[in-house]
């Protein structure tokens, strides 16, 4: 016996569409509170589900991103509380200050993310791989060294050079924006 299809109302579909459009900004907000990429992805998924369930509480024409980030903030605090991450948790007043970001702040942040992506594309393939292993996969230099059969010191030096290259590239991108 198959389940009946779920029919969503227009408003819920609008909320889900807006969430998908603003998902990168919500992710950036969550990452500012919870730096672990995998944990942040889980929080954003839970935020989407909650936003869908609470779609009726959002009023069309109001700041959707602020509403979604408010949900994300509570999901993040709940996640951190449930996982007992008191040592990594930001003070609630800091979380409140971060939550006051406006859509303009996120637009600026998204511009910076775009510039970073462009700079990452310009990195040498091995440098790009090292940056991915360190910051996307979350591996420590010792683990990366084991993975690619380099010394830990060689990985640290290569990561430092890659970060310097990215910093210089971002500096040039910032100068172009002015």
Note the pLDDT tens digit of each residue in 17-67: 999 999 988 988 888 888 788 888 999 999 999 999 999 999 988 889 889
Q: Are residues 18 and 89 in the same domain?
A: yes
Burial of 105 (0-12, 13-18, 19+ CB in 10 A): middle
pLDDT tops 50 at residue 87? no
Between CA 140 and CA 65 the distance in angstroms is: 34
Better-predicted residue by pLDDT, 105 or 152: 152
Q: Are residues 92 and 59 in the same domain?
A: yes
Lowest mean pLDDT among 68-72, 127-131, 163-167, 174-178: 174-178
Q: Are residues 79 and 126 in the same domain?
A: no
pLDDT of residue 86: 46
Is 77 a member of any domain? Answer: yes
pLDDT of residue 158: 95
Domain count across the chain? 2
Q: Taking all residues of the chain, what is their mean pLDDT, rounded to a whole number?
A: 82
The beta-carbon contacts of 155-159 under 8 Å, at least 24 apart in sequence, are: 155/130, 158/126, 158/127, 158/130, 159/130, 159/131, 159/134
Better-predicted residue by pLDDT, 47 or 85: 47
Is 119 a member of any domain? Answer: yes
Domain of 91, CATH number, reads 1.10.1740.10
* Residue 9 CB neighbour total at 10 angstroms: 10
Q: With pLDDT > 70 as the criterion, what percentage of the chain qualifies?
A: 78
Is 124 a member of any domain? Answer: yes
pLDDT tops 90 at residue 8? no
Q: Are residues 137 and 60 in the same domain?
A: no
Lowest mean pLDDT among 59-63, 74-78, 96-100: 96-100
> What mean pLDDT comes out for the span 64-74?
91
Q: With pLDDT > 90 as the criterion, what percentage of the chain qualifies?
A: 41
Is 59 a member of any domain? Answer: yes
Is 25 a member of any domain? Answer: yes
Q: Are residues 73 and 152 in the same domain?
A: no
End-of-domain residue from the set 58, 75, 101: 101
Residues of the domain holding 159: 114-178
Better-predicted residue by pLDDT, 81 or 52: 52
Q: Are residues 82 and 148 in the same domain?
A: no
């Amino acid at each position: 016996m198959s389940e009946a299809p779920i029919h969503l109302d227009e408003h819920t579909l609008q909320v889900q569409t807006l969430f998908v459009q603003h998902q990168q900004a919500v992710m950036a907000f969550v990452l500012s509170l919870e730096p672990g990429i995998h944990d942040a992805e889980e929080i954003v998924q839970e935020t989407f589900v909650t936003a869908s369930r609470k779609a009726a509480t959002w009023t069309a024409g109001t700041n959707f991103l602020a509403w979604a980030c408010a949900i994300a903030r509570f999901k993040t605090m709940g996640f951190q509380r449930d996982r007992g991450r008191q040592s990594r948790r930001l003070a609630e007043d800091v979380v409140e200050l971060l939550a006051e970001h406006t859509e303009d702040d996120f637009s600026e942040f998204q511009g910076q993310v775009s510039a970073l992506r462009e700079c990452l594309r310009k990195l040498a393939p091995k440098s790009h791989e090292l940056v991915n292993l360190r910051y996307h996969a979350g591996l420590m230099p010792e683990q990366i060294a084991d993975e690619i059969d380099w010394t830990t010191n060689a990985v640290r030096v290569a990561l430092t050079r890659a970060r310097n290259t990215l910093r210089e590239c971002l500096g040039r991108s910032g100068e172009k924006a002015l």
